[in-house]
Amino acid sequence: MEMAADDAAFGGNHNNLIQNTFAARGVGSFVPLAVSMTGPGIIETGEQGTWNASVSNGNSPYNYTWHRRKPRSGPYQQVGTGSSYSGSGNGDQDFELKVVVTDSDTRSGTSMRRVIVGGIDHP
């Protein structure tokens, strides 16, 4: 009923807020966090890049944790916190970058990207 009323009155702009309000009271489930990452997909060896994370569908404050690893090579290592991360390409080693965002309700979301170093895809 509330969702239909929101659709009629506000074009559905409050559906996530309504769903999360009910979920906080034990009815239904929370809307998942939507996390996105922006920044370069290719950097040169030794060049520094900066990546930014943005999040929606959650409740602030948000905690951001950045992780990095060689592609498909074991566990990620934590490399930073905050809504952005700056790092450089080391020795022509491509890397995978992951950001995990947690909101004040302890819900989390993740965004990942592979960064190519030196302009060539290194397996």
pLDDT digits (tens, 9 = 90+) for 4-61: 544 444 455 567 677 667 766 767 777 789 999 999 999 998 899 999 999 998 889 9
Going from the C-alpha of 51 to that of each of 77, 86, 87, the distances in angstroms are 16, 6, 9
Distance CA 83, CA 64 (A): 6
Rg (CA), the chain: 18
3-state DSSP helix/strand/coil % of the chain, to nearest 5: 15, 45, 40
Number of CB atoms found within 10 A of residue 85's CB: 22
Pick 32-117's CATH classification: 2.60.40.10, 2.60.40.1220, 2.40.50.70, 1.10.357.10. Answer: 2.60.40.10
**pTM, 2 dp:** 0.75
State pLDDT tens for residues 75-109: 999 999 999 999 998 776 899 999 999 999 888 99
Domain edges within the chain: 1-31, 32-117
Which pLDDT does position 6 carry in this prediction?
43
